[in-house]
Amino acid sequence: MAARVRQTVTRLADGRELIYFDDTEPFVSGAATRETRDRRVLPAVAATSELRRDPLTGEWVTFAAHRMDRTFLPAVAECPLCPSTPGAATEIPADDYDVVVFENRFPALGADSELPGTESSGADADGTDADGTDRLWSRRPAGGRCEVVAFTADHDAAFAELDAQRARTVVDVLAARTATLSALPGVRQVFCFENRGAEIGVTLQHPHGQIYAYPFLPPRTTTLVARAREHRARTGRSLQRDVLDAERRVGTRVVWSGTAWTAYVPAAARWPIEVHLAPHRDVPDLAALDETERDELAVLQRDMLGRVDRFFDGVDRVPYIAAWHQAPIGGDREHGRLFCQIFSVRRAADKLKYLAGSESAMGAWISDTTPERIAARLREVGT
């Protein structure tokens, strides 16, 4: 991480780790330190998540019943991501902060669960008994880790409204946490993402992202890896690299092109608004980005999210998901390549895209627009 960001590691009242990432004085120089004492009295996190493998698809499903009671759309005065005040202690003990990362109080993965080694009842990680007999229902603890990333102390801000320094700090933070979590035993992929908007299903309105360290490869990654592996075996080249080069060559769906990054709408975009941010250099994850790439990414991501907010006339803040696809850890890492997928469920100023019968039951997508129209509109609303 660049020297301009200083980390301060502490613990919350229930033992969860919290890390301040400071980019402003007097904290970045170490002349002062953020408040580290959590004044609350909290019980230990009781998370007993479990993974079960669907015998029909081979996909792992996470069961985290304790999350049913997680905080849901609290009033601004009760927001757990705002700084603490004398009258209200939050998840963040300091009275102000730059960027903060902490372990989720209601994690889908990890906490009391053990990182995977063997499955219950003597089953191996591939879903077979120790004697080699197939089992229908493989189960194992849902190891891994879930973290929250608060982008700013300003409750009413948006990522697109962060200044260049803060956006760059967030990039550095995600890169640093990707490197740290990738080194944990049993982790197969690190997924950084931001959910924004009640329509997406957010439970906290404060601008923040999350990081999941999965103990398995999610279905989307499994598909991406399989396609990339087949393409390399057939052509000797990287599939994502070939797609990026083709999009830049054709140019029809390119929205933004810089020195180190390109933003384009994929030719088979599923969502009413969708744009991919791809680095020109082949890199596996955020941690592998160099200083120049991180600088340009901070500009590009703010720009694209601002365009998403201006996509529909009369809509101030469009709901979106910004999802960082990173290479798997361990096997198949060579078949992964970093890119960010930004997409929205809003298909008109007053309408949402619902995943109904064809999409939800069969996974067969039907779009009400075209990628070329999406790209044209994103270019039109640029500043």
Residues annotated as catalytic (active site), given as ranges: 208
d(CA 169, CA 97): 12
Phi, psi of 271 (to 5 degrees): -95, 155
β-sheet bridge partners, residue 214: 189
- Whole-Å CA distances, 150 to 42, 89, 97, 104, 351: 21, 16, 9, 11, 29
- What residue type is 147 in one-letter code? E
Beta carbons within 10 angstroms of residue 99's beta carbon: 23
Q: Work out whether strand 17-22 and strand 6-11 pair parallel, antiparallel, or are unpaired.
A: antiparallel
d(CA 135, CA 122): 11
Contacts of 148 (CB under 8 A, 6+ apart): 81, 91, 101, 102, 103, 104, 208, 209, 210
d(CA 213, CA 190): 5
